[in-house]
C-alpha cells in the first residue's frame, strides 16, 4: 500500500503535504503528558518527515517505537532480518531527531501565529517580515484541483512577494485561529466553508515553515466540522 501511494504521488500535481488533522476533544487524552505526546506525533513537521521515509523505514519505526513490536516480529512483517529492521528504525529515528526544531512553548507559538494573522489582515509587510525567519519556506498543496503555487517558496522576502501577488485572491477569506495537527494554526474560510488550512513550524521566535493545504479532498474533515 505504501509503495502504491508513493507511485501515485509521483503523478501528483504540485507539492504533496500530509492531510491536516483538526482538533477534536473526542480523541484527545485527558492527561496533559499524553496530550503533549499526541501533539508531537501528529504535528505537520513530524508527518512530513514520516512521509519522506521509505516504506520499510516507516513500518519499522512505527511498529517498534510506537507499538513496541520486537525487531524479530517486524522482520516477519517486512521480510528482512531483525538486524536490518533495527537499522531501518535507527535511520528513521535519526531523521525525526534531525528534523525536530527547538522546542517553543505552545503559548508562544499561538502568540506568533496570532501576530502573523493580524499582520496579514492589516497588510503590515514590515511586521510579517519580522515574524518570518530569513530562510523560511512556504509550501502549498492544491493537488491540481485548486490554483496554488506549485513549488516551495524559499526566503522571507520571496514568501511576502508571493503573498502580495495573491492578495486579491485571499481578500474575501476569513482567517480563524485553530488547532492544526495539535499546534496553533490558521484556517481560511470563504462563505463559511474551509478552503485552506495553514500549519506552522516555529523555532527561535520565528516562523520557519508554513504548510498551506488547499486540496479540497484533504479538507473534508474541516468542511464537515
SS3 percent helix, strand, coil of the chain, rounded to 5, is 50, 20, 30
Chain mean pLDDT for the chain: 86
Is the pLDDT reported for residue 204 higher than 80?
yes
Q: How confident is the model at residue 5 (pLDDT cuts 50, 70, 90)?
A: low
| pTM across the whole model | 0.78
Same domain, 181 and 84: no
Tens of pLDDT, residues 177-190? 999 998 999 999 99
- Name the E strands within 27-162: 132-141, 153-154
Same domain, 92 and 183: no
User: Could you tell me if residue 5 is inside a domain?
Assistant: no
Percent of the chain's residues with pLDDT above 70: 86
Same domain, 166 and 217: yes
Is the pLDDT reported for residue 46 higher than 90?
no
Same domain, 91 and 131: no
User: Could you tell me if residue 9 is inside a domain?
Assistant: no
The total of other beta-carbon atoms located within 10 Å of residue 120's CB is: 18
Burial status of residue 206 (CB atoms within 10 A of its CB: 0-12, 13-18, 19 or more): middle
Tens of pLDDT, residues 128-170? 999 999 999 999 999 888 888 889 999 999 999 998 888 777 8
Is the pLDDT reported for residue 56 higher than 80?
yes
Same domain, 94 and 111: no
What per-residue confidence (pLDDT) applies to 165?
85
CATH of the domain at 43: 1.10.10.10
Selection from 6-20, 41-55, 147-161 with the highest mean pLDDT:
147-161
- Do 106 and 183 contact (CB within 8 A), yes or no? yes
Tens of pLDDT, residues 23-42? 765 444 445 444 444 445 57
How much is the average pLDDT of 115-131? 95
Domain count, the chain: 2
The more confidently predicted of residues 125 and 42 is 125
- Do 179 and 102 contact (CB within 8 A), yes or no? no
How much is the average pLDDT of 112-127? 95
Same domain, 122 and 219: yes
Same domain, 110 and 219: yes
Q: How confident is the model at residue 3 (pLDDT cuts 50, 70, 90)?
A: low
What per-residue confidence (pLDDT) applies to 45?
85
Taking the alpha carbons at both ends of the chain, their separation in whole angstroms is 29
Domain boundary among 99, 124, 145: 99
**Closest CA relative to residue 109, chosen from 39, 49, 60, 162:** 39
Q: How confident is the model at residue 9 (pLDDT cuts 50, 70, 90)?
A: low
- Name the E strands within 68-173: 132-141, 153-154
Range of the domain at 82: 18-99
Amino acid at each position: 500500500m505504501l509503495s502504491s501511494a508513493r507511485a501515485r504521488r509521483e503523478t501528483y500535481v504540485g507539492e504533496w503535504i500530509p492531510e491536516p488533522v483538526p482538533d477534536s476533544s473526542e480523541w484527545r487524552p485527558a492527561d496533559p503528558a499524553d496530550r503533549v505526546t499526541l501533539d508531537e506525533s501528529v504535528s505537520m513537521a513530524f508527518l512530513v518527515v514520516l512521509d519522506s521515509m521509505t516504506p520499510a523505514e516507516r513500518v519499522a519505526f512505527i511498529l517498534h517505537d510506537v507499538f513496541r513490536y520486537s525487531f524479530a516480529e517486524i522482520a516477519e512483517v517486512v521480510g528482512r532480518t531483525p538486524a536490518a529492521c533495527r537499522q531501518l528504525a535507527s535511520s528513521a529515528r535519526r531523521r525525526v531527531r534531525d528534523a525536530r526544531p527547538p522546542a517553543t512553548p505552545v503559548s508562544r507559538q499561538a502568540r506568533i501565529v496570532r501576530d502573523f494573522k493580524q499582520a496579514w489582515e492589516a497588510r503590515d509587510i514590515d511586521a510579517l517580515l519580522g515574524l518570518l525567519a530569513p530562510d523560511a519556506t512556504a509550501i502549498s498543496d492544491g493537488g491540481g484541483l485548486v490554483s496554488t503555487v506549485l513549488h516551495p517558496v524559499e526566503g522571507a522576502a520571496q514568501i511576502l512577494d508571493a503573498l502580495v501577488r495573491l492578495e486579491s485572491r485571499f481578500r474575501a477569506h476569513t482567517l480563524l485561529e485553530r488547532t492544526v495537527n495539535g499546534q496553533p494554526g490558521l484556517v481560511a474560510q470563504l462563505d463559511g466553508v474551509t478552503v485552506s488550512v495553514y500549519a506552522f513550524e516555529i523555532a527561535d521566535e520565528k516562523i520557519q515553515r508554513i504548510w498551506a493545504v488547499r486540496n479540497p479532498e484533504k479538507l473534508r474533515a474541516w468542511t464537515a466540522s
